[in-house]
Amino acid sequence: MAWCSAVRHGALQYDMVVGKEYFKEAIEKQDYLTYFIKAYTLTNCFYKILNKHLALYIVQYFDTTKNFSSNYRLVNCLVHIVTLLIYHPNLSQYQYQGLCYRGMRITQNDLDQYLSNQHILNRSFLSTLIDCKVAEMFAGEGQQSQVRYTPKDHCPLQYSCLCQYLIKQNSTAINIQSLSTRPDEKEVLILPFTVFKVITIKQNYLYDPKASISIEIELEECEDPNDNKNELENSETSRISSTNDDIKDIEKYQKFKQRKRRLYGIIGFLVFAILLSLTLVLIFMFVIRKDSMKNTTSMATSTTEMVTDDNDTLPQGCPNILKRSSWNARLYTNRENLTTLPVPNIVIHELEDLNSIMNQQDCITQIKELQNYDMDTQYYADIGYNFLLCGDNGDQQQIYTGRGWKFVGAHCISYNKRSLGKNEFLF
Task: State how far the Cα of 329 lies from the Cα of 414, in Å rounded to an integer.
Answer: 26
Task: State how far the Cα of 208 lies from the Cα of 198, in Å rounded to an integer.
Answer: 23
What is the mean pLDDT of each successive set of 10 residues along the chain, which is 427 residues long? 53 74 84 85 79 80 65 77 85 93 91 91 92 90 73 77 94 91 91 93 82 92 61 38 48 74 86 89 83 58 50 66 86 86 76 64 86 88 84 68 84 75 60
pLDDT at 146: 72
pLDDT at 231: 39
* 347, containing H or E segment: strand 345-351
pLDDT at 128: 95
Residue 22: other Cβ atoms inside 10 A: 19
Under DSSP, is residue 422 helix (H, G, I), strand (E, B) or coil? strand
As a CATH number, domain 321-425 is 3.40.80.10
Per DSSP, 404 falls in state -
Under DSSP, is residue 166 helix (H, G, I), strand (E, B) or coil? strand
pLDDT at 397: 74
The ranges assigned to domains in the chain are 1-91, 94-224, 321-425
Task: State how far the Cα of 424 lies from the Cα of 240, in Å rounded to an integer.
Answer: 106
Per DSSP, 381 falls in state S
Alpha-carbon torsion (171, 176, 178, 179), positive or negative: positive
Contact 285, 300 (CB under 8 A): no
Task: State how far the Cα of 4 lies from the Cα of 144, in Å rounded to an integer.
Answer: 26
Q: Which CATH architecture has domain 94-224?
A: Alpha-Beta Complex (3.90)
